[in-house]
Amino acid sequence: MTGSATRVYALHLAVIVALFVIQFALPAYHYGNVTRIMLYAVFAIGYNILLGYTGLLSLGHALFFAAGAYGAGLTAHWWGFGPIAALSAGIGAALLVSLITGAIVYRTTGVAFLIVTLMLAQAAFLSTLYFNTITLGDQGIVLSLPPIALFGASLPLADPMVKYNVALVAFALALLLSLWLLRSPFGRVLIAVRENEARTRLLGYNTALYRFTALVISGTLSGLSGALYCLLFGYVGSSFASLQYSTLPLLWTLLGGSGVTLGPPLGAAITHYLIDISSSLTSSYMILVGVALVAITLWFPQGLAGWFRRWKRA
């Protein structure tokens, strides 16, 4: 391992350790917030694999988030799956939806890709409303789950400490997975696809297949986030498939800086707190998301990471 690789891994491990340690000091209110942020961060990391490293802008990641959430929520509600079985069902559902989506958008890039992802997510959103005898539509399903039975211990999901640490484990896994992936030969090809697809194809890589694989990994990670969100907070509803859940990962990634592993989680944290503060002031807090998106395109196309890099160089 080269010096820089060690430093990069050390930095990411330090973030994970810091998140583990601060749980003993956080006040209850922020405890819940950080739990949510870590789950959103998994979603953001998944999204970034596609936007940041493959250069594909998706406007429909709510599709995968909702696939995970409904995969877990519906099996738990209707078939009485336990937490671990439901989580597996959620991940499986997200994987399946990612494979199907990937097969449909296989050859599209750029503008066509984002319109199709937007459409598919909207179709999914409308389906959650249409099949409301199963999904209970807008109102959604409130789950009451049995505790997780793990190595003889019984961990109740209502316990904030269980929630926090489950979210932390998911976050750590997603972060290290994305870091490892992007430093692997596979990740290098993805970056090559982003930078110059024609040239990469000319070098003999099946770029469409790489894009497809990136989409499947990205979608499955987003689904993991959705499944855990549903299980830990005991709720799944149509809003999980709405445009808002496609916009947010885009904002997190652009705000934190796409193509930087820690950027999107940082973006998720900032966005969460900004929305949290502004939602106590006004019911139209989503206007902040709109203003942020416009401001980023105008003034911070590289996000906070780019700003930080420029600041370090100066």
> Least distance in Å: CB of 42 to other proteins?
22
139 forms part of the interface with other proteins (CB under 8 A): no
The tokens of 190 are what? 């993805």
Of residues 18 and 281, the one with the C-beta less far from other proteins: 281
Of residues 23 and 127, the one with the C-beta less far from other proteins: 127
Member of 33, 127, 165, 239 binding other proteins (CB under 8 A)? 127
Rounded (10°) CA dihedral 188, 192, 198, 204: -20
Residues 22 to 51: which contact other proteins by CB under 8 A? Answer: none
Size of the site for other proteins (CB under 8 A): 44
The kind and range of the H/E element at 135 are helix 132-135
Distances (CA, A) of 8 to 183, 209, 256: 11, 28, 17
Of residues 20 and 300, the one with the C-beta less far from other proteins: 300
Member of 6, 17, 22, 110 binding other proteins (CB under 8 A)? 110
How is the chain split among helix, strand and coil, in percent rounded to 5? 75, 5, 20
Stretch that binds other proteins, among 62-70, 143-151, 166-174, 288-296 (CB under 8 A): 288-296
182 forms part of the interface with other proteins (CB under 8 A): no
Stretch that binds other proteins, among 14-22, 88-96, 103-111, 196-204 (CB under 8 A): 103-111
105 forms part of the interface with other proteins (CB under 8 A): yes
Of residues 18 and 111, the one with the C-beta less far from other proteins: 111
243 forms part of the interface with other proteins (CB under 8 A): yes
133 forms part of the interface with other proteins (CB under 8 A): no
DSSP, res 145: P
281 forms part of the interface with other proteins (CB under 8 A): no
Member of 13, 16, 275, 286 binding other proteins (CB under 8 A)? 286
What is the rounded CA–CA span in Å between residue 15 and residue 286? Answer: 29
What is the rounded CA–CA span in Å between residue 226 and residue 249? Answer: 12
CB atoms within 10 A of CB 127: 16
126 forms part of the interface with other proteins (CB under 8 A): yes
- Only one residue has tokens 């694999």, namely 49
What is the rounded CA–CA span in Å between residue 76 and residue 85? Answer: 8
Residues 57 to 86: which contact other proteins by CB under 8 A? Answer: 57, 59
Spell out a b/e string for 55-84, using b for 16 or more CB atoms within 10 Å of the CB, else e.
bbbbbbbbbbbbbbbbbbbbbbbeeebebe
Contact set with other proteins (CB under 8 A): 57, 59, 104-112, 114-116, 118-120, 122-123, 126-127, 129-130, 243, 247, 250, 254, 282-287, 289-298, 301
